[in-house]
Structure 1
Amino acid sequence: MKNWNSPGEHITLPAPADVSSGAFVTVGAIRGVAQGAAAAGEEVVLVRRGVFDLPKVAAEAWTTGAKVYWDATAKLMTTIDTDNALVGAATALAAGGSATGRVLLDGVIR
């Protein structure tokens, strides 16, 4: 195919703000985890699929398989869907009081 470009699992885009390696990043409707650090406007590689340990709302306890959403205001993962973007599912239990949760990003743009 002459029009094929890439599988899209890793995509290089301009960073919307300063980002650190491992940070969850959104560029419009595209979401992923930064493969490295980048200053605002510099290119950053986003990994769109895979399992990542990401910052979550500490007060929440997660069950395996729970839908996980991105709260863009708090900059945390949450199981609350109201006004938040679905990004994947929890792949492990996360106790209330824990600051991180294990999330499967499925790469689907919603």
Structure 2
Amino acid sequence: MAKNFIQPGNTITLTNEDVTDAADLASGDGYLSGSIFGVAQTDVAVGDDGEFDVVGVWELPKVSAQAWTVGQRIYWAAATSECTTTAGSNKLIGVAVEAADNPSALGKVRLSGAFTI
């Protein structure tokens, strides 16, 4: 392994920034820090650092009034802390790995592990 290798990057340490409308995060919550989206491994208070998974399949809150199809692109709506199929100004975080009904509160998303677009 090259001497400058740091880590695989599947888990990233991020700070739950103390900004307007910031909230404490619970284990399993999605979080967007700049262009990095991850799922909190543990509870992370505002201002604290925590470990966030940036890959894997996760059951996350979704816009209830949307139906999802397998392979559909999924975006993060930071204003509502929900996954959505609406691109707009939302950040691409992955794809649906299972169909989700309209209405339903949760959907299964395979995180892309890439920087959000």
Confirm or deny a common fold (TM above 0.5): yes
Shift in Å, 1:10: 0.5
Q: Secondary structure at the match of 1:92?
A: coil
* Paired amino acid for 1:8: G
Shift in Å, 1:40: 1.3
Task: After TM superposition, list the pairs within 5 Å mapping 1:1-110 onto structure 2.
Answer: 1-16=2-17, 17=22, 18-109=24-115, 110=117
Question: CA separation in 1, counterparts of 2:14 and 2:83?
Answer: 22
Shift in Å, 1:104: 0.4
Shift in Å, 1:71: 0.8
Question: CA separation in 1, counterparts of 2:11 and 2:5?
Answer: 15
Question: CA separation in 1, counterparts of 2:39 and 2:13?
Answer: 11
Say how many residue pairs are matched. 110
Structure 2, unpaired ranges of 5+:
none
Question: CA separation in 2, counterparts of 1:36 and 1:7?
Answer: 20
What is the CA RMSD across the aligned residues, in angstroms?
1.0
Structure 1, unpaired ranges of 5+:
none
After TM superposition, the score normalised by the length of structure 2 is: 0.90
Q: Secondary structure at the match of 2:12?
A: strand
